[in-house]
Amino acid sequence: MTESHAGGCLCRKIRYRVSGRPNWVAYCHCTDCRRSSAAPVSLFVGLNDAQYTIATGVPADYPSSEGVVRSFCRDCGTPLTYRSRRFPGEVHVLIGSLDEPENFPPTAHVWVSEKLPWFDTTDHLRRLARSGADEPKA
C-alpha cells in the first residue's frame, strides 16, 4: 500500500507523514497512557519505524518509564508518539494527531486490566488484559 497520511501537533510546528498499512490500531487503557494524554483512554496506530517520517519541526522526547520514550511538541504540548524496547522497530502514533483519524478504525483494546471502571464502550473489538506483547500465546 502506498497510501500516505499527514499529521502533526496543535500549533502545526511539527508535521509528519505515515505511509503503508498499519500493524494494528488499538485503544490503550493503561495508567501511563492516560496520564500522558490526559484522557480516559488513548488510541494508537502501530507502524514500522520506516513508515513514520517527520516533515517539519523536531519533537521533544520524554523517557516516561524504563525503556519507553514518548514524543511531544515542546511548544503546544501535543503528544505524538510512543516507543518501547518491547516493540523494537515500531512506533505508536497517537491517532488524534493525524489529520484524518477516521482512516484508522481501531481493532482492539489493550491493557483493559487498568481500564477506568466507569469508562466503557459497546463495540465488539478484541480485549486484551495487557498489551499484545504481554498476552499468553495460544
pLDDT in tens, 25-51: 999 999 999 999 999 999 999 999 999
Q: What is the CATH number of the domain that holds 44?
A: 3.90.1590.10
Q: Binning pLDDT at 50, 70 and 90, where does residue 4 land?
A: very high
pLDDT value of position 138 = 38
Question: What domain range includes position 130?
Answer: 4-134
d(CA 59, CA 81): 9
- For residue 61, give Cα distances in angstroms to 41, 58, 101, 122, 127: 21, 9, 23, 35, 29
Which is more confident, 54 or 121?
A: 54
Q: Count the domains in the chain.
A: 1
